[in-house]
């Protein structure tokens, strides 16, 4: 899952990016409004964390511009806690609103919920055959037995599971699993796919030659 | 209820109306009564005088040959004397003797009084009533009644004292009014009458006055009630509107159109007050929102870094970094708290100044030397013209002002620009001028640069720090020194801040 954080306070930005990375997200960041809008319009994000009081372009304007082209879930994270601000934020196209100071755990839970809902999954535990993926605990069980995956492998499984039954291109996987600073080669995706197949069975991920991958419900 | 304007008005109105009516009624009653009785009295006096004159006047026929003036006995051989059963000398009403007409040469006083005859017109009723027929009584000097037309009346004899043409003396006995005068030969002449008719008329008048007064009072009170309703209704409407205007709902206004002028004025004054209140509340809530935003951000930093550090085991280096970040955030909060506290104290007029004789030039120079590294970092040249300038002020606070102004001038300058700081001494004041060659401030932003938390947004950046309170603090400090601060700015030609402080003048220390 790839997340964009737009926040002008460097100390807060560092805490956010670090905790999101530790949760297995690929994280991009922007320190002012225009940069944030540029990245949001150009990148494939699963969620955006947006501050409102930003230099050069405030969060409402970023949101307004972004909503013209993108439906990506946006969580507003701001010190502005007045009711009119919250209403304005949500009515302006935001999907959630969290005020500073906040608990990291809550922010992470809200992001998980946002991503779950936008992919059409209400249940945090995704079941496919005998495989259960707990998106909260980041754990995978097969026939009741836990399967050990690396964070990257888990992200791949989770991404495919959230889009189960759909064709997912290699580029899409690459875009959602690696952040802007990651210059891994795109064939790394194939390596991860093959590792996951080894752990969860060959048939878990089907290859559509020349198109991409797919997991079936 | 009694505290309401309407009832107070009504009670006062009733009291005043009642007093006026009572005063009017009483005056009318007594005026009318005086006039009536004066008329009666004048009539009585006139009659008693004319009777006395008649007594003293010439007799109608020759007097009897013998007459004792002292005794006043009637002459025994008067052929015209009517026979009567009464004692001699008594004048009986049923046989009124004609007045004696004395011959022209006969001296007055020697007239035989027993021959008195009362002219009938003297005893005619005054008006058309029949209960007030006048009566007359004539006494001799010794108190004997010579003549009476009312023998059944017990009329006490008044004390007659003076002879001659005197004004008639008036006597009131109950409803009876009498006038008497000393007649000839020390006789006493009295005419009296009952004033029952006048009394009845006065009673009727009294009742009429009471009835009319009651009617006027009732109409007056009803009119007053309606008037007070008309006065109170717009007040009630204003009260109802004002009651709906609260801290959370300040947008309502009282309708001042079509209201009576005084109330319209009141409504306009209240509306103006609500305007000021609304803008003050708006300012206050904006200030609170800004202050809380500025405080929440470092708090969020501390919170998130601490939470992150505790979420799993970290290396000592990571912990150290976390603690350093938290410390930075704490420092920022502390600076903000101090700024807010200073502003709050200045607002309350409790900004304590430690005033003493200082050299402003030296203070500015010290501030400048502290900021030279920042200027070098921004490649900004600094020019200074700081002659020794003695003023009275708080060195720490004034240094804060100079530092704030210089920091802004350096930070919002373009690379390779110049910052100039100079002091000019005038007769009345000392000017500290800080100017830069930066991009200047938009005309629309200029009035707000001293507002709290105001930032010229294009420049707003966390990297360059600043909470947006610096210039507000400068203004508070300068104003506490009874000075002024102003800016002139041209876009693309830099900004000039001018601080004017009173020169060599002792500034009264403001003590909380």
Least confident of A41-45, B125-129, B198-202, B219-223: B125-129
Contact flag A9-B325 (C-beta cutoff 8 Å): no
**B258 or B138: which carries more pLDDT confidence?**
B138
Residues in Cβ contact with A210 at an 8 Å cutoff, skipping those fewer than 6 apart: none
The yes-or-no verdict on residue B107 having pLDDT over 50 is no
Q: Do A100 and B325 touch (CB under 8 A)?
A: no
Question: What own/partner pairs with CB < 8 Å and gap ≥ 24 does B77-85 have?
Answer: B78/B112, B78/B114, B78/B115, B80/B115, B81/B114, B81/B115
Beta bridge partner(s), residue A5: A29, A49
Residue B120 has pLDDT above 80, yes or no: no
Window from A169-173, B203-207, B261-265 with minimum mean pLDDT: B261-265
Quote the minimal CA–CA distance from A203 to chain B in Å.
Answer: 35
Rounded to a whole number, what is the distance in Å from the CA of B349 to chain A's nearest CA?
30
Residue of A nearest to B301 (CA): A12
Interchain pair B296, A19: CB under 8 A: no
What is d(CA B446, CA B333) in angstroms, rounded to the nearest whole number? 27
Across the interface, of A11, A103, A104, the residue whose CB is closest to B325 is A11
Of A11, A16, A18, which is closest to B328 when you measure between CB atoms?
A11
Domains in chain B, CATH or no CATH each: 7-199 (no CATH), 261-347 (1.10.287.130), 356-502 (3.30.565.10)
**Residue A103 contacts B where some CB pair is shorter than 8 Å:** yes
- And the tokens for A113? 């919920």
CATH 3.40.50.2300 maps onto chain A at: 2-118
pLDDT of the residue at B511: 44
Q: pLDDT at position B70, please?
A: 47
**CB proximity A57 to B under 8 Å:** no
Q: CA of A107: which chain B residue's CA is closest?
A: B304
Cα distances from B86 to residues B69, B82, B234, in angstroms, run 22, 11, 89
Partners of B303 on chain A (C-beta within 8 Å) are: 101-103
Question: How near does any CA of chain A get to the CA of B296, in Å?
Answer: 6
In chain A, the percentage of residues whose pLDDT exceeds 90 is 37
Report helix, strand and coil shares of chain B as percent, to nearest 5: 50, 15, 35
- Residues of B in CB contact (< 8 Å) with A are 289, 292-294, 296-297, 299-305, 307-308, 311-312, 325, 328-329, 457-458, 460-463
Residues in B touching A16 (Cβ below 8 Å): 304
Cβ-based neighbours of A60, under 8 Å, separated by 6 or more: A52, A88, A89, A92
Q: Does the distance separating the beta carbons of B308 and A19 come in below 8 Å?
A: yes
- Kindly report the number of other CB atoms within 10 A of residue B66's CB atom: 10
Predicted confidence at residue B504, as pLDDT, reads 67
Given this model, what pLDDT does residue B260 score?
62
Q: In terms of Cα–Cα distance, which of A86, A35, A39 is closest to A60?
A: A86
Looking at residue A68, its pLDDT comes to 93
- CATH 1.10.10.10 region(s) of chain A? 125-214
pLDDT score of B457:
58
Residue B308, min C-alpha distance to chain A (Å): 6
> The domain A125-214: what is its CATH number?
1.10.10.10
By C-alpha distance, the chain A residue nearest B455 is: A55
**Per-residue pLDDT, B203:** 92
Weakest-pLDDT range from B30-34, B398-402, B464-468: B464-468
pLDDT at B98: 43
**pLDDT value for B119:** 63
Place B465 in a pLDDT band, splitting at 50, 70 and 90. low
CA distance to partner chain B, nearest, from residue A78 (Å): 8
**Residue range A45-88, pLDDT digits in tens:** 999 999 988 888 889 999 999 999 999 999 999 888 888 889 99
Which pLDDT band holds residue B172 (cuts at 50, 70, 90)?
A: confident
Please tell me the distance in Å from A159's CA to the nearest CA on chain B.
24
Instruction: Report how far apart, in Å, the C-alpha atoms of B449 and of each of B6, B441, B458, B463, B472 are.
Output: 52, 9, 13, 20, 8
**What is the 8-class DSSP label of residue B99?**
P
Q: Picking from A182-186, B88-92, B353-357, which range would have the lowest pLDDT averaged per residue? A: B88-92
Q: Span B238-243, mean pLDDT?
A: 82
- The residues that bridge with B160 in the sheet, in sequence order, are none
Both tokens of residue A170?
């290699």
Residue of chain A whose Cα is closest to the Cα of B294: A79
Q: Shortest Cα distance from A18 to chain B (angstroms)?
A: 8
Of all residues in chain B, the percent with pLDDT exceeding 90 is 22
Among the listed residues B152, B176, B171, the one whose alpha carbon sits nearest the alpha carbon of residue B160: B171
Contact (CB, 8 A) for B69 and B57: no
B296:A9 CB<8 A: no
Query: Which conformational region is residue A56 in: left (phi greater than 0), alpha (psi within -120 to 50 degrees), or beta?
Result: left
CB hemisphere CA count around B149 (13 angstroms): 19
What is d(CA B226, CA B224) in angstroms, rounded to the nearest whole number?
5
pLDDT band at B347 (very low <50, low <70, confident <90, very high): confident
Percent of chain B at pLDDT exceeding 70:
79
In angstroms, rounded to a whole number, what is the distance separating the alpha carbons of residues A200 and A141? 9
CA-closest candidate to residue B429, choices B343, B510, B346, B507: B507
Q: How far apart are CA B28 and CA B209, in angstroms?
A: 8
Q: What is the mean pLDDT of residues B437-448?
A: 82
Q: What is the mean pLDDT of chain B?
A: 79
State the average pLDDT over residues B2-17: 83
Backbone torsions φ then ψ of B402, nearest 5 degrees: -60, -45
For tokens 């909470």, the residue is: B467
| pLDDT over threshold 60, residue A121 | yes
Q: Does domain A2-118 match CATH 3.40.50.2300?
A: yes
Query: Prior bond to B487 cis, omega within 30?
Result: no
Q: How many CB atoms lie within 10 A of CB B100?
A: 24
Question: What is the ipTM metric for this complex?
Answer: 0.83
The DSSP-derived string for A65-128 is HHTTT----EEEEES---HHHHHHHHHTT-SEEEESS--HHHHHHHHHHHHHHHTT---SEEEE
> B253 φ, ψ to 5°?
-135, 150
In the predicted model, is pLDDT for residue A29 greater than 80?
yes
Q: How much of chain A exceeds pLDDT 70, in percent?
A: 98
Assess whether pLDDT exceeds 50 at residue B338. yes
Q: Summarize the confidence of residues B184-193 as an average pLDDT.
A: 82
Query: Cα–Cα distance between B269 and B266 in angstroms, integer?
Result: 5
B302 to chain A: closest CA residue: A12
Q: Is the separation of the CB atoms in B205 and B32 below 8 Å?
A: yes
| Residue-level pLDDT at A17 | 93
Contact A19 B303 (CB under 8 A): no
Q: How far apart are CA B199 and CA B202, in angstroms?
A: 5
Does A195 have pLDDT greater than 90?
A: no
Mean pLDDT lowest for which of A2-6, A11-15, B71-75, B456-460?
Answer: B71-75
Helix axes B395-411, B360-377, angle to 10 degrees: 30
Report whether pLDDT(B197) > 50: yes
A19 touches B: beta carbon within 8 Å: yes
pLDDT of residue B76: 44
**Which pLDDT tens digit goes with each residue over A126-161?**
888 888 899 888 889 888 888 888 888 898 899 988
């Amino acid at each position: 899952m790839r997340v964009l954080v737009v926040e002008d306070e460097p100390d807060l930005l560092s805490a956010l990016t670090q905790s999101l990375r530790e949760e297995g997200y690929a994280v991009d960041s922007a320190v002012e409004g225009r940069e944030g809008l540029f990245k949001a319009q150009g990148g494939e994000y699963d969620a955006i964390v947006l501050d409102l009081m930003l230099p050069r372009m405030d969060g409402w304007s970023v949101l307004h511009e972004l909503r013209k082209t993108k439906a990506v879930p946006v969580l507003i994270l701001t010190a502005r806690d007045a009711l009119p601000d919250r209403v304005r934020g949500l009515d302006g196209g935001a999907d959630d609103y969290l005020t500073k100071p906040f608990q990291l755990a809550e922010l992470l839970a809200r992001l998980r919920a946002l991503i779950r809902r936008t992919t059409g999954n209400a249940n945090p535990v995704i079941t496919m055959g005998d495989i259960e993926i707990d998106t909260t605990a980041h754990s995978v069980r097969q026939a009741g037995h836990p399967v050990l995956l690396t964070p990257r492998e888990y992200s791949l499984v989770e991404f495919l599971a959230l889009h189960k039954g759909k064709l997912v291109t290699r580029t899409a996987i690459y875009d959602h699993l690696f952040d802007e600073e990651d210059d891994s080669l795109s064939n790394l995706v194939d390596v991860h796919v093959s590792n996951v197949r080894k752990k969860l069975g060959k048939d878990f991920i089907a290859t559509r030659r020349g198109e991409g991958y797919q997991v079936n419900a | 209820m009694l505290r309401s304007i309407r009832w107070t008005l009504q009670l006062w109105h009733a009291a005043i109306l009642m007093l006026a009516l009572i005063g009017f009624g009483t005056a009318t009653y007594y005026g009318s009564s005086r006039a009536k009785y004066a008329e009666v009295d004048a009539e009585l006096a006139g009659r008693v005088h004319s009777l006395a004159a008649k007594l003293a006047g010439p007799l109608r026929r020759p007097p009897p040959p013998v007459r004792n003036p002292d005794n006043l006995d009637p002459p025994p051989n008067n052929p015209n004397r009517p026979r009567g059963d009464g004692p001699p000398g008594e004048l009986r009403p049923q046989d009124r003797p004609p007045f004696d007409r004395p011959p022209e040469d006969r001296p007055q006083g020697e007239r035989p009084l027993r021959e008195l005859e009362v002219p009938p017109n003297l005893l005619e009723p005054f008006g058309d009533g029949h209960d007030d027929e006048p009566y007359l009584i004539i006494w001799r000097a010794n108190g004997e009644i010579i003549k009476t037309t009312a023998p059944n009346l017990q009329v006490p004899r008044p004390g007659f004292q003076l002879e001659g043409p005197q004004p008639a003396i008036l006597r009131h006995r109950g409803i009876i009014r009498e006038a008497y005068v000393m007649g000839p030969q020390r006789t006493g002449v009295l005419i009296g009458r009952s004033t029952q008719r006048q009394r009845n008329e006065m009673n009727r008048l009294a009742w009429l006055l009471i009835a009319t007064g009651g009617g006027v009072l009732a109409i007056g009170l009803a009119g007053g009630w309606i008037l007070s309703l008309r006065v109170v209704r717009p007040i009630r409407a204003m009260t109802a509107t004002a009651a709906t205007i609260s801290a959370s709902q300040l947008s309502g206004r009282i309708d001042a159109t079509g209201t009576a002028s005084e109330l319209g004025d009141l409504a306009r004054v209240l509306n103006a007050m609500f305007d000021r209140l609304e803008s003050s509340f708006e300012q206050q809530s904006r200030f609170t929102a800004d202050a809380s935003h500025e405080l929440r951000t470092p708090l969020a930093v501390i919170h998130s870094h601490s939470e992150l550090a505790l979420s799993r085991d970290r290396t000592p280096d990571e912990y150290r970094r976390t603690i350093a970040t938290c410390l930075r955030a704490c420092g920022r909060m502390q600076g903000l708290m101090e700024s807010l506290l200073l502003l709050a104290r200045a607002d309350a007029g409790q900004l304590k100044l430690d005033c003493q004789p200082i050299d402003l030039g030296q203070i500015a120079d010290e501030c400048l030397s502290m900021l030279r590294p920042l200027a070098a970092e921004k490649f900004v040249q600094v020019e200074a013209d700081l002659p020794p300038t003695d003023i009275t002020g708080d060195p720490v606070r004034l240094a804060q002002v100079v530092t704030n102004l210089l920091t802004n001038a350096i930070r919002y300058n373009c690379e390779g620009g110049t910052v100039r700081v100079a002091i000019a001494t005038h007769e009345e004041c000392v000017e500290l001028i800080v100017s830069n060659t930066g991009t200047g401030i938009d005309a629309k932003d200029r009035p707000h640069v001293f507002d709290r938390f105001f930032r010229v947004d294009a420049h707003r950046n966390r990297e360059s720090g600043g909470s947006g309170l610096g210039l507000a603090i400068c203004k508070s400090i300068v104003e506490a020194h009874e000075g002024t601060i102003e800016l002139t700015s041209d876009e693309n030609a830099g900004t000039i801040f001018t601080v004017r402080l009173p020169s060599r003048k002792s500034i009264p220390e403001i003590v909380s």
